[in-house]
Structure 1
Amino acid sequence: MYKKLLFFTLLLIGVSIQSQNLSTDFRKKIIELKKDTIQIDSIAINPLSFKVINQFGLEVSKNEYQINFTKAILVIDAKKYSKITVEYFRYPEFLTKTYAPFNDKLILQNRTNSSTLYSLTTNKKPSEIKIFNGLETKGFITRGVTSGTNQNAVTNSSLDLEISGKLSENVILRANIFDTNIPIQDNGLSQNLTDFDRIFVEIEHKNWRVKAGDLSLKNRETFFFPFEKQVSGLEVEAKVNDNFKVGASGAIVRGKFALYRFTAVEGNQGPYKVFGSNNEPVFLMIEGAERVYVNGSLLKRGENEDYTINYNLGEITFNTTFPITNDMRIWIEYQYADRNYTRFITYEKAEYTSEKLNIAGYFYSENDAKNQPIQQSLTTDQQEILANAGDDLSKMVAESAFPDTLGENKILYKKVTNNQTEYFEYSENAQEQLFNVSFTNVGVNQGDYILDRVTAVGNIYEYVGTNLGEYSPIIRLVAPTKSQMFVVKSDYNPTEKTVINTEVAVSNRDENLFSSIDDSQNAALAAKVEWQQKLIDKKWKLQTNINHEYANKNFYSEQIWEGVEFNRDWNITTNNATKNFFQSALTLEKNSANFIKYNYGNLSYDNGFKANKHKLLSNFKTGKTTFSTKISLLDNNSPEEITTFFRAIGKVNHQFKNSWIGAKINLETNSRKNVISNQFINTSHKYKDYEMFLGVGDSTKIYAKFGYNFRTNDSIRSNSFTEINNRNTFYVQSNLIKNKRTNLSIFANYRITENAFTDNEKTLNSRVVYNQKFFNNFLNLGTVYETSSGNIARQDFVYIRVEQGLGYYTWIDYNNDGIEDFNEFEIAVFQDQANYLRLPKPNLRFIATQRAKIQQTITLNPRVWADKKGIQKLISKFYNQTYLTVENEQERQGNTFQLNPFDFNENSLISLNYNIRNSLYYNKNLNNHSVIYSYGNSQIKQQLFIGTQENKINLHQLDYAHKFATFWLVNLMGKISVNTLSTENFNDRNFEINAFEIQPKVTFLYNSDNRFSVFYHYKEKENKIQNFEQLNQQKFGVEYFYISKKQNQISANFNYFINDFVGSANSPVAYQMLEGLQAGDNFTWNVIFSQKLNSFLNLNLSYLGRKSENSTAIHTGSIQLRANF
């Protein structure tokens, strides 16, 4: 009780001042956390006054995050902190450069003609950058070096530069260079273009264009060879004359095309794992290069569109407003980083155009350099395996084990022979013959090993018997490949009513450059010819179209050219045969709203497959009513089956003055029978889909749409179509109110699926967005509420050791066994200790969940009454802000819905992110008896591969400030908090820490350039469980700031800690309580100097140090330069 009395008494008598704006380099940013690693700023930041404030408005303890001040990179748990505020000072801007009296490369031998010597002079002109004179530039370059007694010298740099403008009257320059850590070579430059995260330089003239750097090569002009590639290289285009254009590109390939397809799970919004070309889960997708299709329709990426995607983990999640059903066919075209070999690409094109004839040629070549492997180093035996494998991927495997010796961060195995069966067994015995073994997932009951356990440095596998596991001690070898394509296309218009199009393509695909086996299948031909003729060209136009397409069975195109739904549309099981495809069409058209079109198609393969399809499309608009139909009938047969595929889609829509009404019907019957038995095969299906809808308003602005959908699905049971389920869907889409004061939109989709052979299912997706301003902004409300279902992964990760000071985590061997256990890694408080990175591993294990989410903000702003009198004037001095976010995921059980985000039932709760904070201000930002009372409560529950982890924080904090006597500032802060951590499998990390803090601070402002502060910070912490650790910490500190009008700055800080700690200091709980310091006396200090050298160049020097009672002092220093453009 006496602590609380002392706390509030000091707050009532405390006085404080707020200094004037000491520097234009001060920054305050509010960040919505989407990931753990955040780039705070583009330049280095000052560590002296750096603060992270949580969603409750309270400062986050330094051991809760890792900050690299040099790179301005913050690492913090995004699941624990959904929103933070960062306050800091930027360093002045600078650039680094090697200074020397002369360039030794310019020194000539005595026998050289002295007339070629260079004259070295000093630039006497004012400091003004002239490098990009005449161009618009935006960005910066920074270079720096950090070194210390506890770490080796580390170079660091950042580059973010945009240039645009005219080099001459007809030549335009555009450039973009971005790099967060350029590797420093002897010449001070990046080694090559691939070291950059994003770079290009483009010069354009009306008759030519040159672009170098990171490119996106595209070809959408050809039918047989559409592609898009992310590469790094050079692209040139030139207009020879008005009729002739040429282009050429040469580059190193960054991305390799892949396709992944799967059927969705009813009500599961994701995330869904995307697998690689060889069904591998580990890969890096190229950002922004994917195309996602659902039932043949292309989706849009974005939080307010259809889906979002995690490129590092390869996981796709569909948004609440795009409901997922079990009849959705999902295709994902994407590119992934393939670094097995150095891969080169060349792409050339030439185009001739005239009044009646257009002709173009394209040549594409993409080759792996088989003698330049990157990620795999092939032995002679492995190359021999590839040489004998031909194009057969199943033969491209090799044993992974090789002899090795016991060492740090190694997982090794010994060979064991039991009953003539030889297998590997995990071992740490250095006296035995040990092997380094890699295991590959080969499928359930296809391997001999299972995953036994996970450690911080990797996985350990256990032998369980032949074909009883899912892993094998093998590695898949990747063969170098070659792809070439030559295409010629032409468009000929002999008359105004006639068009003849042709395209011929030749492909050359070698799946294995180490082997000549199967090379006879490498080259193949494809061709297409098309004739279009206008028969009648009046109000109603009649047009015919006839085309024929041929493709050899070995024809290869880099990406899909037939359409993602082509095989399904034609009932093709496999299409690895030579293709002949004839199509004709007759179209009668008035305009785009009134037409009728008939198509006939004949498709055959030389494996005996033959198909005929009739299709009728129409659209008519009469008055305010629109009718549209799409009907097709397919008959096909093959040596295995005979099929009939009928499809019909009809839609009618009537528009009233301010509303509309409509209906839609969608039917499919796909009858597939075995040729020999005349029995239906299981891939036969049938469905009927009926929909009615009505809407009010303008669908592009304010509107409400209501609809009902009924669908039945039939499958084959006992050789006949049998209804397996039916689904009733009720939905509403609306944007009800949208003006300056109010925004209200509602989306809801409720589905009831009645299954004939399994349990019935109910699914709900909903989203409500409401924003309201009351009483001239006196009260502001913001609400977002969502419900959906999906799944959540048990996140796995691994710790990787890096150079000292370049990581974010530190390893403390608490049990002194030399093994890096998961519970021995901590977020490094001091940068020189940060020598580990934590990398997430692809998720393969998911738990089905039901989600409920709400975000609520309430702002009371009585300051609008500042000009009033009486009680309103008094109330205007207050300001209150409340922020609430709850993301609740519970295990999905039956047909129950998780509508209440505040239901924290421990029996079903899988994941939780609950945060509430309230900040009440008096005289906000005025520093005239200013008071801030903050309340916060958070609860975070996570599913990790190593077990469940739950963290709870409850706190109260008061801050009082007052300015007096012009030069004096006194602050007083007090806080009471409870911090609880509970882990499923690591009891030594569990704690419940009750803390009490108070900090008075006095600042003397000599003038606007100088500030001196003295402060005292008292903390009392007590762990209420386990070993009942206790800490009484006293911190005495002084600070000095000098910021001059000449753009230089000096800051210094010295702190003395007295840590009276009771308990084991070598434990995770002690690290949490001591915040990385040691028991007893501790000292920390730093000095930072910043100087603006000229109009664009800035220099910064920093020195940091610390010392504990029983250790030597640790010193760290850095120098950085930055140039602004």
Structure 2
Amino acid sequence: MHTGNSNSEWLETDGLNKTGSITRGFSVGNRQDFSLNSSLNLMLSGKLNNDLEIQAAISDNNIPIQPEGNTQQIQEFDKVYIRLQKDKTAFTAGDIECQSSSSNYFLKYNRKAQGGDFQTTFSPQLTNNDEMHIGFSGAFGKGRYARQEITSIEGNQGPYKLKGNNNETFIIVLAGSEKIFIDGALLVRGEDNDYIIDYNTAEIIFTSKIAVSSKSRIVVEFEYSDKNYARSLITTDIDYVSGKFFTGFSMVSESDLKNQSVQQDLNNEQKLIMSLVGDSINQAYSSGIDSIGFTTERVMYAMIDSLGYDSVFIYSTSSDSALYALTFSYVGKNNGNYTQTGSSANGRVFKWVAPVAGISQGEYEPVILLITPKKKEMYTFKAGYQFSKNTVLNAEYAISNNDINLFSNIGDENNAGHALTVNFKNLQPVGKDTIKKWSLSTNIRTEVTDRSFAEIDRFRSVEFSRDWNLDLMEINKNTWFGLVNVLLQNAQKDKFSMNSGFFMRDAANASYQNSLLISKSWENLRIVSSASYLVSPAGGNNARFLRYQNQLERKLGVFSIGVEANGESNLINSIDSNRLHTSSFAWQSEKFYTAFADSSGRSGKMFYQYREDQIADSNRLIPQTYTTDLGFETSGPVFGVNQLLLRTTYRKVIYKTTTTPNEEFLLGRAEYNGRIHKRFMVFGINYEAGSGMEAKKEFSYLEVTPGQGVYTWNDYNGNNIRELDEFEPAAFSDEGNFIRVYTPTNEYVRVFSSQLSGNMAMSPAEWIKRNKGPLKFFTRLNNRCAFSWDKKTSSNQASEMYIPFNGEANDTMLVAQNANWRNVLAFKTTDSHLTVSWMNSDNHNRGLLTNGFEDRQTRTDELKIGKTFFKSWILELAGQKGIKNYTSEYFASSNYSIEEQNFKPSLAWQPGTTFRWSLLFQYAEKNNTIGMQNAIVRKGGTELKFSKAGKGLALLQFNMLQISYNGVTDSNLGYIMLEGLKPGRNFTWSASIQRTLGNNMQLNFIYDGRASEGNPVVHTGNVQVRVFF
């Protein structure tokens, strides 16, 4: 987006600030179709008149990806809306966020949508002192709410994959919609906080602040993009307050429009299938076999008989037999007859696997799980009365409607549900102590829900089911929940709290829980102690669930020392046999720590923790694991203004009930940012180590509007079928007709990861202030360096696990690596008439694909010397030496190692600031050391540049290239070594004009052309007009 002047002449409006631009253009060429392109980006804010305010973000860009989720704050770059406001009335249209009223108990939701939202507050004057708030929104929902409990893995920081409600494995999470909990605690997003998330692949990685264990309870609530049907969203909130009385009504309706399917192209047969399955929606399977005839646009299959099994499908490129297009669904291990296999096809390929002893050996089937249209509604009515300043009574009644299959009436009798809650609160001051100000709070709540009541989003605490052992109880029951809380506390945060509650499904299924919390602080001493005890039935069993948490902390100046003792014991006994149920467990842990924090900003903490977990075995609890954790963290200024952060956690797990080898894990992060001798050297270094998983990646190529892509397809083998090893990065823009699409997989490899990144700038002139004498030379030097190494290995050797920059391409234990290094050393005279620079770079990328490893590396050394003479003549000499390596485990015939040497002299004449004429030369030698192919490129050209401030610029360029090559031209290697050209004589030319018209308009014209021996001339043109606000 271009930021324009708010006081521009075009669309001048007093009191209205405007920034943005409108762009219209077209592209045309003799090797591509005519295409139009346009964009609108406009930001408005201010007043339309004295009372009416406007705020708007308008854009016609449709960005299909979500922003990165590695920071606490998310910048939604595709949010489009218009908001009008007058006094206490506001209307918003476009991208909106619908949230439930904070006063609701049952009805909780937070949705991103596209539509309209109206909010107003006024006095209806029914009484002397009353106020009413009305809110209404009507929109199409952007996503669907999901809640997922993730099974954690010992020492695995991630990524953990999120799935949709229908077990969809490939989803896009709406940015900022997620809430992630571990052991009931809400986490904070960001690299410096608890976790990062990739919204586009729906993967979560926990930072070194969170050491994930097999006992971690991970719960994620989120919205994900669901395009099976268009989805309506209607919400209403009405709140009325009159003196001590208040009442309100709220409703929300989310409904799939069953006759407006988007991603699903439903036929009558599929609709009939869904109408017959009723609420058993997991059985709504349709055939994924489509006989469409042979085509090169899709992955095709032939049908054969194999080992006595008929209708077996195999991948085929034969136009005679490859007549079937198949859609496969993941049905679980040993539930299908197909498995994914490596292939050169531009898409996923599955192969049939014969059953063994009647048991399927695959996990995919050529079937489609039809997603039924759903509807979810809730209506709530609430009222309350404030008897006094400290006493209030309120109640809420809710009706829910949950239809999980709008195509079927079967099972609709259980769609409607009801719920009721009544709550009493009282707060009273205790005693006459005006310093401590003790108060007594009493809260009594009762809640009734019937068996069909369906929440919109979770309204109870995130671990409510675990707190009450509900996972072991029959869920299809009416429930009655009650809780009494008494809290005594003062202004110094001393508190004494008691809870007593019950959860009842029927007379034989009643759970009772009591809990106690004490927190007391003295001048240098603090004690916190809590305990809870639950007695509950659990499916023919009696359960006793005891939990406790205790902390004692002592302050010693800037230091503090403390001890914690926590534990749980959940004993479940059979009522009939009095034997211990296998779901019984217990654990206890002790933690010792010391911490410090001083006035300079330095802080730190060190701890030791021991934990024992027990499981049921032969009617008793026996040790399952012994876990030891040792951690250290410190942060703050060091050596003046430099900043240091160190964080590390060591864990050792001893397994007692299995043959699993004992495990050790090290998790750490280090950051150091500083400078030496003022700004002589400024640097920043970051290091992180941990363990997790690496997903096998899969790529395919998707055709887009000609010239709008990044990759080109060359049919090297002439079979007219698009294959993965036939796509290359486009050498010219008119050839860019494809983009590469990343598809996540379900295959993961356990890895240890280490990362090191940093940057450094060194300027001797900041240290050496004398401009005379032998040190004068060094003041003209400066150095810039940036590097990053990200390594993932399956080796358990410490040197491989924690050192990120020693990975080699032939290392079979190296799973993935992304290494980048760039250093530039420059020398410049005082008058800038002589400049010398040396650049060294090394980029290495290794990825684990479904077809095996793929390794790319580029190393370059470049020396540039520039000299100005006769004031207007500039001579530049550039020499470059480098190597390009590509290694593919699957496409071994495409491997190469190209050594390249370049010499590029140029001479330019620039008599002023408006004109520059250049002569360009290049001599390059390229040698593939694997196949001994050689290429020599001789290039000569000229360039004219005209520019004038405020008016525009023009650039004309013409080049002639003579190329000799002894290899196969129509091959991967040939395309790369020839850079998209042909052996013999080649010509390239271009013209670009940028013209500024007035204060608000810019015209851009770009023309490119090229010609090669024996090939037609290629012309490409682009015209664009841009208007700024």
TM over 0.5: yes
Question: Match of 1:3?
Answer: none
Listed one character per residue, the Cα deviations across residues 907-959 of structure 1 (whole Å, up to 9, x for unaligned) are 42222233333322111796322111222334332222222122333332110
Which digits, 9 at most, give the CA deviation of each residue in 1:766-825, with x for residues without a partner?
111112311222233432222111121221121112232222111111122222221111
- Name the counterpart of 1:370: 258
Task: Please tell me whether the aligned partners of residues 508 and 523 of structure 1 are also in contact (alpha carbons under 8 angstroms).
Answer: yes
1:469 paired with 2:362, answer: yes
Change in CA separation of 1:132 and 1:471 when aligned onto 2, cut-off 3 Å: farther
Residue aligned with 2:466, SS: helix
Rounded Cα–Cα distance in structure 1 between residues aligned with 2:599 and 2:693: 33
* Structure 2 counterpart of 1:529: 422
Alpha-carbon offset, residue 997 of structure 1:
0.7
Q: More deviation in 942-951 or 263-272?
A: 942-951
- Quick check: 1:144 aligned with 2:44? no
Of the three residues 457, 478, 494, the one matched with 1:594 is 494
Structure-1 separation of matches of 2:447 and 2:840: 71
2:574 maps to what in 1?
A: 674
Q: List aligned pairs for 1:739-754, cutoff 5 A.
A: 741-754=641-654
Partner of 1:440: 329
Q: Tell me whether 1:796 sits opposite 2:698 in the alignment.
A: yes
> Residue type matched to 2:682 in 1?
N
Show the counterpart of 1:549: 447
Question: Does structure 2 retain, via aligned residues, the 8 Å contact 1:761–1:895?
Answer: no
User: Residues 948-967 of structure 1 correspond to what in structure 2 (within 5 A)?
Assistant: 948-967=853-872
The answer to whether residue 771 in structure 2 is matched with residue 868 in structure 1 is yes
Secondary structure of the 1:198 match is coil
SS across alignment from 1:300: coil
Change beyond 3 A, Cα 1:868–1:427:
closer
Q: Deviations over 1:68-101 (max 9, x none)?
A: xxxxxxxxxxxxxxxxxxxxxxxx999xxxxxxx
Say whether 1:805 aligns with 2:703. no
Q: Secondary structure at the match of 1:1007?
A: coil
Q: 1:1103 corresponds to which letter in structure 2?
A: Y
**Aligned match of 2:740 in 838, 855, 860?**
838
- Is contact 1:158–1:181 with CA below 8 Å preserved after alignment? no
Cα distance, 1:765 vs structure 2: 0.8
Higher relative contact order (CA 8 A, sep 6+): 1
Give yes or no for contact 1:260–1:274 (8 Å, CA) kept in 2.
Answer: yes
Match of 2:293 among 376, 400, 405: 405
User: What are the within-5 Å matches in structure 2 for residues 698-777 of structure 1?
Assistant: 698=598, 701-737=601-637, 741-756=641-656, 757=658, 758-777=660-679
Larger deviation, residues 290-299 vs 586-595: 586-595
- Aligned-partner SS, 2:765: helix
Which whole-Å CA distance do the structure 1 matches of 2:254 and 2:755 have between them?
48
* 1:582 counterpart residue number: 482
| 2:103 corresponds to 1:221 | yes
339-348 or 670-679: bigger deviation: 670-679
**2:530 pairs with 1:630:** yes
Structure-2 residue corresponding to 1:20: none
Matching residue within 196, 199, 202 for 1:314: 202
2: distance between equivalents of 1:790 and 1:1010?
57
AA at the equivalent of 1:570: W
Partner of 1:115: none
Aligned to 1:1054, the other structure's residue is in SS state strand
Q: Which moved more, 1:153-162 or 1:365-374?
A: 153-162
Instruction: Spell out, residue by residue over 1:379-421, the C-alpha distance to the aligned partner (whole angstroms, 9 max, x if none).
Output: 1111111111111122211112122110122223344456474
Q: Distance in 1 between matches of 2:309 and 2:687?
A: 63
Q: Tell me the SS of whatever aligns to 2:970.
A: coil
Q: Tell me the distance in 1 between the aligned counterparts of 2:685 and 2:411.
A: 63
| 2:117 counterpart of 1:235 | yes
Structure 2: distance between partners of 1:736 and 1:238: 48
Shift of 1:291: 0.8
Over residues 693-724 of structure 1, what are the superposed CA-to-partner deviations in whole Å (9 max), with x where a residue is unaligned? 11122499311211111111111122211111
Residue in 2 that maps onto 1:34: none
- Determine if the alignment matches structure 1 residue 1029 to structure 2 residue 925: no
Mapping 1:931-970, distance limit 5 Å: 931-970=836-875
Whether 1:1074 aligns to 2:978 is: yes
Counterparts of 1:779 and 1:510, CA distance in 2: 66
Task: State the distance in 2 between where 1:427 and 1:975 align.
Answer: 46
* AA at the equivalent of 1:335: E
User: CA separation in 2, counterparts of 1:137 and 1:131?
Assistant: 9
Q: How does 1:797-946 map to 2 (within 5 A)?
A: 797-864=699-766, 865-893=768-796, 898-904=801-807, 906-923=811-828, 927-946=832-851
Q: Does 1:210 align with 2:91?
A: yes
Residues 838/863 of structure 1: CA separation in 2 closer, same or farther (3 Å cut): same
> 1:1034 Cα deviation (Å)?
1.0
| SS of the residue 2:721 aligns to | coil
Query: Are 2:252 and 1:348 equivalent residues in the alignment?
Result: no
Where does residue 293 of structure 1 map in the other structure? 181
- Counterpart of 1:84 in structure 2 is none
Mapped pair 1:563 → 2:461: yes
Q: Helix, strand or coil: the match of 1:817?
A: coil
Residue 460 of structure 1: aligned partner: 349
Structure 1 residue 751: Cα displacement: 0.9
Letter in 2 for 1:1074: L
- Determine whether 1:506 maps to 2:384: no
Q: In 1, are the aligned partners of 2:828 and 2:836 still within 8 Å (CA)?
A: yes
Distance 2:428 2:845 in 1: 70
The letter of the residue matching 1:240 is F
Q: Work out whether 1:166 is the aligned partner of 2:72.
A: no
Taking a change above 3 Å as real, the CA distance of residues 866 and 1105 of structure 1, as seen in their structure-2 partners, is farther
User: Is the Cα contact below 8 Å between 2:294 and 2:324 reproduced in 1?
Assistant: no
Deviation at 1:620, TM superposition (A): 1.0
The aligned counterpart of 2:248 is 360
Q: In 1, Cα distance between the equivalents of 2:829 and 2:314?
A: 66
- With 718-727 and 849-858 compared, the bigger mean Cα shift is at 849-858
Relative to 1, partners in 2 of residues 1:626 and 1:947: Cα closer, same or farther, differing over 3 Å? same
Counterparts of residues 778-797 of structure 1 (less than 5 Å): 778-797=680-699
5+ residue gaps, structure 2? 65-75, 124-129, 432-436
Q: Would the alpha carbon gap of residues 455 and 329 (structure 1) be closer, same or farther in structure 2, given more than 3 Å must change?
A: farther
For residue 456 of structure 2, what is the amino acid of its counterpart? E
Query: Is 1:1091 matched with 2:1000?
Result: no
Alignment of 1:450 onto 2:333 = no
Distance 1:807 1:907 in 2: 34
Aligned position for 2:126? none
| Partner-residue secondary structure (3-state), 1:450 | strand
> Alpha carbons of 1:665 and 1:874: their partners in 2 closer, same or farther (altered >3 Å)?
same
Decide whether aligned partners of structure 1 residues 608 and 340 sit closer, same or farther in structure 2, where only a CA change above 3 A counts.
farther
Deviation (angstroms), 1:871: 1.5
Percent identity between the aligned chains?
28
SS in 2 for 1:394: helix
SS at match of 2:170: coil
Counterpart-to-counterpart distance in 2, 1:607 and 1:459: 55
Distance 1:1001 1:958 in 2: 14
* 1:216 maps to amino acid: E
Shift of 1:361: 0.8
8 Å CA contact 2:822–2:840 kept in 1: the answer is yes
Greater Cα offset, 207-216 or 811-820: 811-820
Secondary structure (helix, strand or coil) at the match of 2:465 reads: helix
- Number of positions where the alignment pairs a residue of Structure 1 with one of Structure 2: 993
Q: Is the 8 A contact 1:179 1:198 kept in 2?
A: no
Contact 1:671–1:685 (CA<8 Å) still a contact in 2? yes
**Does structure 1 retain, via aligned residues, the 8 Å contact 2:695–2:744?**
no
- 1:1008-1023 pair list within 5 angstroms: 1008-1023=913-928
CA distance in 1, matches of 2:897, 2:280: 59
- Which residue of the partner structure matches residue 72 of structure 2? none
| Letter aligned with residue 26 of structure 2 | V
TM-score (norm 2): 0.93
CA distance in 1, matches of 2:77, 2:154: 42
Instruction: Please tell me the residue identity of whatever aligns with 2:785.
Output: T
1:1100 aligns with 2:993: no
